[in-house]
Amino acid sequence: MGARATDKAAQPDRALARHQTPIISHVHAQGESRMTPSTPFSLDGRTALITGSTKGIGRAIAAAFAAAGARVWLHGRDQEAGERLAGELGARFVAADLAEADGPSALAQQVLEAEDRLDILVNNAGTATIQPLERLNLPEIDRTWQLNLRAPVQLTSALLPLLREAAHVGKDASVINISSIHETVPAPGNVPYAMTKAALAMYTKGAAVEWGRFGVRVNTLAPGAVKTNMMDEYNIGEEHFAKVARRTPLGRMGEVTDITGPALFLASAASCYVTGTTVTADGGSSLNLVRYGDEWVLPGTGEAPSQPVAVDDIAGND
């Protein structure tokens, strides 16, 4: 037993060996005499899939990843819009409806047939249902759970072989689950949505624990209020933006580009020792979240809708 313990102790720690000098060695391999600030955030040679990436935050993340050197897979339901954006970014587009039970499997199959590895997966597609608890509409609740939780869980598991291969070849792989500041504090009318995001955050932690040994990192990115198509669906305008700005420590509403930096951090070697955590990008608004009240639900009225309202979330399933 003693000899076996000694042999085991003498073996290099795989996780430690994987990341001992990933950034410095990369820079030296390029013949550089020093590490430049941009080096850790480069995505050169990496392949990324971003769900719900034809608009909103997903589109912004896809553009940022492409600019950082990644080979990008776009996803959505709108074939025409997706192919048009793919042409602009030099990306590939795959259509699938993640609101359908077989949608995640269909999406995964198309990627599995085309790629040998996947370095980055961003689970961004989702939906929000605004409905007070006493008037819950179960079909809408089911759709919210399907898009916000079941789809990312199913898709990530299906693509795990590609993520593991990327980690084996390129030192690590990164899964980024787009959540919300409401994963920790709900607002009136959005409890079902908050429930799915809280569950997604716990899934993130569990996956990080189980898959760390493969070199697969799993983290959550939680945006605050961001100007996206969802605001247009609710006819939310400048009056509401001003209210959000007043209760946000940084004094303004979020833009989609405010989310791309944290996403790039989590996708790149800059976060090679970060897993199982939530990165919040909300301008500090969650510090005042308990005082939002009904303004978040229906700005200017303080009333919840009489019928359930479901719209694409921060980036959408399109």
Confirm whether 203 is a catalytic residue.
Answer: no
What pLDDT shows up at residue 132? 82
pLDDT of 266 above 90: yes
CA–CA gap between residue 183 and residue 198 (Å, rounded): 4
41 and 68 in contact (C-beta within 8 Å)?
yes
CA–CA gap between residue 249 and residue 132 (Å, rounded): 28
Nearest to 118 by CA among 58, 65, 57: 65
55 vs 232 pLDDT, higher one = 55
Nearest to 53 by CA among 129, 125, 131: 125
What pLDDT shows up at residue 30? 37
pLDDT of 212 above 80: yes
What pLDDT shows up at residue 188? 79
Q: What value does the mean pLDDT of the chain take?
A: 81
Q: DSSP letters of 214-242?
A: GTEEEEEEEE-SB-SHHHHHTT--HHHHH
Backbone angles phi, psi at 93, to 5 degrees: -120, 140
Listed in sequence order, the DSSP H helices in 94-249 are 103-114, 138-145, 151-170, 191-211, 229-233, 238-246
Which residues fall within 8 angstroms of residue 251, CB to CB, at 6 or more apart? 245, 283
- Using 50, 70 and 90 to split pLDDT, how confident is the model at 244? confident
140 and 129 in contact (C-beta within 8 Å)?
yes
Sheet holding 173-178, edge to edge: 92-95, 71-76, 47-50, 120-123, 173-178, 216-223, 278-281
CA 140 to chain centre: 22
User: What are the boundaries of each domain within the chain?
Assistant: 41-312
47 token code pair:
């392949």
Which residues fall within 8 angstroms of residue 78, CB to CB, at 6 or more apart? 54, 95, 318
In CATH terms, the fold of domain 41-312 is: Rossmann fold (3.40.50)
Give per-residue pLDDT as tens, 154-195. Answer: 999 999 999 999 999 877 999 999 999 989 888 778 888 999
Rg (CA), the chain: 20
- Using 50, 70 and 90 to split pLDDT, how confident is the model at 226? confident
Which residues fall within 8 angstroms of residue 158, CB to CB, at 6 or more apart? 104, 105, 108, 109, 112
299 and 239 in contact (C-beta within 8 Å)?
yes
- Using 50, 70 and 90 to split pLDDT, how confident is the model at 235? low
220 vs 8 pLDDT, higher one = 220
Among 96-105, 121-130, 160-169, 230-239, which is the least confidently predicted range?
230-239
Percent of the chain with pLDDT over 90: 58
The residue length of the chain stands at: 318
Most confident of 2-16, 245-259, 277-291: 245-259
CA–CA gap between residue 292 and residue 88 (Å, rounded): 39
211 and 160 in contact (C-beta within 8 Å)?
yes
- Using 50, 70 and 90 to split pLDDT, how confident is the model at 233? low
Give per-residue pLDDT as tens, 272-285. Answer: 999 999 999 999 88
pLDDT of 296 above 50: no
CA–CA gap between residue 3 and residue 302 (Å, rounded): 71
221 vs 288 pLDDT, higher one = 221
